[in-house]
A and B are shown apart, each in its own frame.
Chain A
Amino acid sequence: MSIVKTKINRQIIIYALLVLFTSFFILPMYILVLTSFKPFQDVTVSTLWNWPTSLSTDGFSRAFKKLAPNLLNSFYLVIPATLISATLGSLNGYVLAQWKFKGSKILFALILFGMFIPYQSILFPLVQFLQAIDLYGSIPGLILVHVVYGIPITTLIFRNYYYEVPTVLTEAAKVDGANILAVYRHIFFPISLPAFVVVVIWQFTNIWNEFLFAVTVTSQPANQPITVALSNLAGSQVIEWNIQMSGAIITALPTLLVYIFLGRYFIKGLLAGSVKG
Chain B
Amino acid sequence: MKQKTREGLISLALLSPSLIAIAIFVYGFIARTVQISFLDWNSFLNLLQNQKNYVGWSNYSDLYADPRFQTDLWNTLYFTLFFIIGSIAIGILLAMLLNEKPRGGIIFQNIYLFPLAISFVVTGTVWRWIFSPGTLPDNPYGINLLFQKIGLSSLQWGWFTNTNSFLSFNLALIAVIIAAIWQYSGYTMAMWLAGLKGIPEQLIEAARIDGATKWQIFTKIIFPLQFPITLSAIIVLAHVSLKAFALVYNMTGSGPNNVTDIPAIYMFEATFRANRYSTGSSIAVVMLLMVGLLIIPYLVNVIFKKES
Q: Do chains A and B touch in the complex (CB under 8 A)?
A: yes
Residues of A whose CB lies within 8 Å of any CB of B are: 10-11, 14-15, 17-18, 21-22, 24-29, 31-32, 45-46, 48-49, 88, 91-92, 95-96, 99, 101-102, 104-105, 107-114, 116-122, 124-126, 129, 145, 147-149, 151-152, 155, 174, 179-181, 205, 209, 211-212, 227, 230-231, 241, 244-245, 248, 251-252, 255-256, 258-260, 263, 266-268, 270-271, 273-277
- Given known A-B contacts A29-B114, A48-B130, A260-B110, A122 and B194 have beta carbons under 8 A apart: no
Determine if B235 is an interface residue (Cβ-Cβ < 8 Å): yes
Report the Cα distance A134→B119, complex, angstroms. Answer: 29
Contact A116 B291, beta carbon cutoff 8 Å: yes
How far, in Å, is B186 (CB) from chain A's closest CB? 8
Contact B113 A263 (CB under 8 A): yes
Q: How far is the CB of B231 from chain A (nearest CB, A)?
A: 9
> Residues of B within 8 Å of A, CB-based: how many?
101
In the complex, per-residue mask of B264-308: 1 if CB is within 8 Å of any chain A CB, else 0:
100110010000010011011101100100011011101111110
Number of A-B contacts defined by CB within 8 Å: 253
Contacts A26-B111, A101-B12: A126 and B29 contacting too (C-beta < 8 A)?
yes
B142 with A48: CB separation less than 8 A? yes
A32-B122 in contact given A180-B14, A259-B113, A266-B190 (Cβ < 8 Å): yes
Q: Which residues of A contact B258 (CB under 8 A)?
A: none
Question: Which chain A residues lie closer than 8 Å to B109 at the CB level?
Answer: 263
Assess the A118–B100 pair: CB atoms within 8 A. no
Give the interface SS of chain A, mostly helix, strand, loop or mixed. Answer: helix
- Tell me whether B30 is interfacial, beta carbon within 8 Å: yes
Provide the bound-state CA to CA distance between A274 and B237, in Å: 12
Q: Which 9 A-B pairs have the closest CB atoms?
A: A274-B232, A101-B8, A122-B29, A277-B306, A125-B29, A271-B194, A125-B32, A248-B122, A121-B284
Q: B1-37 interface mask toward A, CB cutoff 8 Å, 1 = contact, 0 = none?
A: 0001001101110110111011011111110110010
Give Cα A255 to B288, complex, Å. 30
Task: Provide the bound-state CA to CA distance between A137 and B140, in Å.
Answer: 45
Is B102's beta carbon under 8 Å from chain A?
Answer: yes
Rounded to whole angstroms, the CA-CA distance of A31 and B128 in the bound complex is: 11
B68 beta carbon closer than 8 Å to chain A: no
Q: Is the pair A118, B26 in contact by a Cβ cutoff of 8 Å?
A: no
**Cross-interface CB contact of B108 among A10, A22, A91, A260, cutoff 8 Å:** A22
Kindly list chain A residues whose C-beta atoms are within 8 Å of the C-beta of B48.
none
* Contact flag A122-B122 (CB < 8 Å), given A18-B97, A18-B108, A267-B190: no
A-B CB contact pairs (8 Å), 26 listed: A22-B108, A28-B127, A31-B126, A45-B129, A48-B142, A105-B303, A109-B304, A112-B303, A118-B284, A118-B288, A118-B291, A121-B287, A149-B25, A155-B18, A211-B121, A212-B245, A227-B121, A244-B125, A255-B117, A260-B110, A263-B109, A263-B110, A266-B190, A270-B187, A271-B190, A275-B298
**Which residues of chain B come closer than 8 Å to A209, judged between CB atoms?**
117-119
Interface: B42 (CB within 8 A): no
CB distance from B157 to the nearest CB of A (A): 17
Residue B182 interfacial (CB < 8 Å):
yes
Q: Which residue of A lies closest to B90 (CB)?
A: A21
Q: Please indicate which of the listed interface residues A124, A147, A155 has the most CB atoms of chain B within 10 Å of its own CB.
A: A124
List CB contacts (< 8 Å) of B118-171 with chain A.
118-123, 125-127, 129-130, 132, 134, 139, 141-142, 145-146
Q: Is B69 engaged at the interface, CB distance under 8 Å to the other chain? A: no
Decide if B83 is an interface residue (CB 8 Å cutoff).
no
Is A118 a contact of B243 with CB atoms below 8 Å? yes
**Residue pair B193, A267 in contact (C-beta under 8 Å):** yes
Residue of A nearest to B19 (CB): A107
Residues of A within 8 A of B233 (CB): 274
Q: Are A105 and B304 in contact (CB under 8 A)?
A: yes
Q: Does the CB pair B129–A252 fall under 8 Å?
A: no
Given known pairs A25-B111, A122-B29, A271-B194, the reply for A256 and B117 (CB within 8 Å) is: yes
Q: How far is the CA of A14 from the CA of B214 in the complex (A)?
A: 14
Asked if residues A121 and B285 are in contact (CB atoms below 8 Å), the reply is yes
Instruction: Name the one of A111, A120, A245 contacting B19, with C-beta atoms under 8 angstroms.
Output: A111
* B207 at the binding interface (Cβ < 8 Å): no
With a cutoff of 8 Å between Cβ atoms, the chain B residues found around residue A121 in the complex are 29-30, 33, 284-285, 287-288
User: Contacts of B90 on A, CB cut-off 8 Å?
Assistant: 21
- Chain B nearest CB from A201 CB (Å) reads 11
Indicate which residue in B19, B28, B112 contacts A21 across the interface (CB closer than 8 Å): B112
What is the CA–CA distance of A227 and B118 in the complex, to the nearest angstrom? 11
- Determine how close the nearest CB of chain A comes to the CB of B138; give it in whole angstroms: 12
* Measured CA separation A266–B190 after assembly (Å): 9
A122 close to B195 (CB less than 8 A): no
Cβ-closest chain A residue relative to B17: A88
Q: Is A45 in contact with B141, judged by CB distance below 8 angstroms?
A: yes
CB-CB under 8 A from B177, the residues of chain A are none
